Amino acid sequence: MIISLLFLLLVWPPPLAVGPILAAGAVDETFVQVIMQPLVSVFENLDFILNYTAMVNAWSGRTGIPVVVLWPEKSIFTTNDLSGMITIMAQQHSKTWDLIGMDNIWPAVFAEPLLHPLDGVMSSASIARHAPSSLDAGTVNDTLYAVPLYSDGGALFYRSDLLTKYGFAQPPTTWDHMELMLSTILAGERTTNPSLTGFITQLSSYEGLTCNVAEWLASANLTMFLNSTSELSITSPAAQATAAGLLSRFRRWIDLGLIPPASLLYRESESSNAFMQGKTVFMRIWSRYATFLRSRGVNFTWGVAPLPGESEDLVGASTFGAALLGINKYTANVTRAALVAEFLSGIESQRMFTTAFGLRPTIPELYQDPDVNRIYDSALLSSTRITNRPASFCNDHYLTVSDVIYSRVNQVLAGFADAQSTIASINIAIADLLGIDHFGSPQNLPWYTLPSIVVETIVAVLVAIILVLAVLLVHHRDAASARRVPTEFLVGVLVGSMLGALAPLTYVGTPTLLMCEMRVILLGFGFTITASCMAAQDFRVYLIVSSPLRRVASDVNRILWQSLIAAWVLEGALVGLWLGLDPLVPVDVKVDHTWRYTNCASKSYAFQVAMLTAQTFLCCCLIGICIWLAVRNRGVSPKANTSGEAMSLASYLIAVGAGGTLIILCVTNPGPLPQMLVMATAVAFVVLSVLWAYLVMQLRGSHTVEDSSWMGTTIHASSSVLSAGLDSSTGDLSGLHGVAVAHMSEAHILVVRMPPQGLILSLRKIASVSSCCPGTFSFTATFAAGLLEVYTRSEADLKEWHERLAHAAAASNPTATASPNLLGQQNGTPAAARGGVPATDLLANTTLSMQVATAFEQPPTCVRSLSD
């Protein structure tokens, strides 16, 4: 299609030339080659072509500058075809055409890729002779790229015979005046001519409606949505109300029958046909149609007047329609091309366009020209206020902007949309298309506003609670160390809670880069440290009680700290990756296309979601472990039930609270106030739940041996705890009122569950294991420092324990036999006297850790001294 069009362009229309005729498209630097907009046809406008040729030839003869002018045949080569051809020229840096004719909405599109600036190239006098408003269409970013060849504009055509019949001496000067005329004339005429309508114009959803809207707005002294600095011009409530009132007026006229509903589908041809047939009183159309009407002839009298205004001083708004002429910036004939452009845009050429086609001149000097006045009354030309569409302010987006305007206004006129909201929506759509900031300053909440003070108060209360609990923990650290949750993990929960509690402060006020980074750090590390310490203390219980033969305290601590450090390193890696590759930075967030605030976001939304998902997944895993371990360990002993329930509940509340907050803040766009309050509420909810379950539940009440921890602080054998329960001379274990656990280097450690509760760990080497007693489900293990009588619940348990103890005894002392000789005392004689090893020596390298030692009113029968 393009090839065929170019072929027709090159070979069909006869070029106008001085000197030898060149094939169109040939490059000869002695000639200035001009391609015009499709305006004429060799079949209909041959006289004009010949006259224009003679005029150009005469100028060429005077100046010695040969010119080739190509008129594309309008019947086969449209304006859109020319636009496509110019686009190809720009892409190929073509020198073929020195001067290019174009529509007045094109300079913004072709200025950068194809057009040469005219300031300093054309004479200032040749530019200044044009009406200033007619140069606006060719000006882009304050630089002139094209001058007008001719122009056109909207005008009011009226039935002068009907106006005279009903006593109106002149056409309307205001829209209200027109409405009065329409109501009067139609009331009288429709009795005999019911098909007569009042006012028709181009209301179809296309560019013609945009031209109408430009005139309506200018008639109320409003600029068409954009001003010369590419800023929105209809933003104030008063301006939007005025613009909405204009649209509402024409919608009301349709409802009243003053405008025919069919006009919603009218373009120029439908409008002109209806007027020529005498079917309407008034018509808005391009002024050049006056020549067309004169050539056709009608059976009524008519006239042309300026379009009405909101007031009489605003009469004559007329949308600028024109052909412009620009210089190809790749031409080698810039100087000659500029001289030709001065002539073709000058008085002689514009007079010919007016007399031949009824096109308006843009040179005020011609407003009083006799030849021009035979077509247009000088008063009409002088009273015209040229109104430009915002093509020059939209870069290459004008056609899209125009589509937004005419499609939405057509919906208002058809009754499908509200005028007020449509004006606002057009503003928003244009701003989005052109990247215009129309939201005003960010509406973040400063620190001194009431909501901010509420959030700051919540944070202060949380910090105070955490500090109070820290003081209590330090004050009761000895008792706390004997509780189910070790002190170091309680400190970790406090540290994590403190970090999380401070996070809502990063949502107060307008965030800075540092605040955005701290938001990631505080939330990430706060919840990770808290959740990992919560999981660690339950994991500790699990490591101790999940198997009868279990690791010693040092092994448990090593595993726990390795797990904690791994979780923290992983969180640190995630935070470092986020802050290193694409950190959160302050960005503007637009809400409902009406206002904005500053939030924190990464440049890549996908990356931000990925990092947030990774951190959330890590926390969810830790919370899941917390819940599973808390439930798993709840039945270890009656003393663990209450705290276990609280801990599992706290984990669940964290999952629900944190998850709900993430959904609200990430999926929705609630704005700074809801964000701030939701974050503060969620953090307070989570922190208080954790502190209650992991601090308050552990620190409240009296501190007795019944509250001893699953894994307390390791102490040496010489400590008061061990010496109070162990007779150093005899190795008597009966003083340990409860159950003790010891770790001694190179010893095989054994954990035994004792009914109804509690734990027992062997001391030193196992010497022997007696035979099972199925009747009582018991057997006796002999240690270097005492005896342990084990009771089980079933024969299967009895067999399992016996086999494990026997295996441990063999591994502990392969040469030992089930003989009392290994006891520290036999028949009342100390082992040392018989060459044995005293219990105190055996315990020389012993360390002791207190474990879930449930107190008994008297020494347990299963722990006997050697003297027994």
Tell me, what CATH number does 275's domain have?
A: 3.40.190.10
Angle at 825 between CA 824 and CA 829, to 5 degrees: 135
Measure Cα distances from 614 to 580, 611, 618, 811 in Å.
16, 5, 6, 47
Q: What is the average pLDDT value for the chain, to the nearest integer? A: 77
CB 353 within 8 A of CB 249: no
pLDDT > 80? residue 483 = no
pLDDT per residue as tens digits for the range 92-103:
999 889 999 999
Higher-scoring residue by pLDDT: 77, 700:
77
CB 809 within 8 A of CB 767: yes
| Residue 202 sits in the same domain as residue 175 | yes
pLDDT at residue 392, as a whole number: 83
Distance, C-alpha 15 to centroid of its chain: 56
Is the pTM here over 0.75, yes or no? no
Total domains in the chain come to 4
pLDDT at residue 366, as a whole number: 95
Q: Is 407 helix (H, G, I), strand (E, B) or coil?
A: helix
| Residue 700 sits in the same domain as residue 841 | no
| Residue 203 sits in the same domain as residue 259 | yes
Q: Which two three-digit tokens encode residue 797?
A: 């348990």
Measure Cα distances from 635 to 640, 643, 706 in Å.
7, 11, 16
Q: Spell 379-400 as b/e; 16+ CB within 10 A means b.
A: ebbeebbbbbbbbbbbbebbee
| Residue 47 sits in the same domain as residue 142 | yes
Q: Report the C-alpha gap between 515 and 508 in whole angstroms.
A: 10
pLDDT at residue 439, as a whole number: 76
CB 420 within 8 A of CB 434: no
Q: Tell me the range of 555-559, 611-615, 630-634, 724-728 where mean pLDDT is highest.
A: 611-615
H helix intervals, 483-587: 487-502, 513-545, 553-581
Give the residue among 317, 315, 355 at the shortest CA–CA distance from 150: 355
Confirm whether 587 is domain-assigned: no
| Residue 658 sits in the same domain as residue 798 | no
CB 824 within 8 A of CB 785: yes
pLDDT at residue 489, as a whole number: 77
| Residue 667 sits in the same domain as residue 548 | yes
Confirm whether 608 is domain-assigned: no
Mean pLDDT score, 723-733: 38
pLDDT per residue as tens digits for the range 354-394:
999 999 999 999 999 999 999 999 999 999 999 999 888 88
Q: Spell 488-501 as b/e; 16+ CB within 10 A means b.
A: bbbbbbbbbbbbbb
| Residue 470 sits in the same domain as residue 547 | yes
Confirm whether 604 is domain-assigned: no
- What pLDDT band is residue 535 in, cutting at 50, 70 and 90? confident
The mean-pLDDT minimum among 97-111, 150-164, 633-647, 711-725 falls in 711-725
Mean pLDDT score, 612-619: 82
pLDDT > 50? residue 18 = no
Q: Is 176 helix (H, G, I), strand (E, B) or coil?
A: helix
Higher-scoring residue by pLDDT: 86, 810:
86
pLDDT > 70? residue 657 = no
pLDDT per residue as tens digits for the range 665-702:
655 667 788 888 888 888 888 888 888 777 776 666 54
| Residue 237 sits in the same domain as residue 327 | no
pLDDT at residue 158, as a whole number: 97
Full residue range of the structural domain in which residue 830 is found? 715-864
Bond preceding residue 504 cis, omega within 30 of 0: no
Confirm whether 607 is domain-assigned: no
Q: Tell me the range of 58-67, 76-85, 542-551, 560-569 where mean pLDDT is highest.
A: 58-67
Report the DSSP pairing between strands 67-70 and 32-35: parallel
Confirm whether 365 is domain-assigned: yes
Give the residue among 497, 691, 524, 485 at the shortest CA–CA distance from 619: 524
Confirm whether 710 is domain-assigned: no
| Residue 166 sits in the same domain as residue 312 | yes
For 18, phi then psi, to 5°, come to -115, 135
Higher-scoring residue by pLDDT: 484, 79:
79
Distance, C-alpha 635 to centroid of its chain: 49
Confirm whether 596 is domain-assigned: no
pLDDT at residue 141, as a whole number: 87
Mean pLDDT score, 111-125: 93
Q: Which amino acid is at 117?
A: P
Give the residue among 841, 506, 428 at the shortest CA–CA distance from 683: 506
pLDDT at residue 524, as a whole number: 87
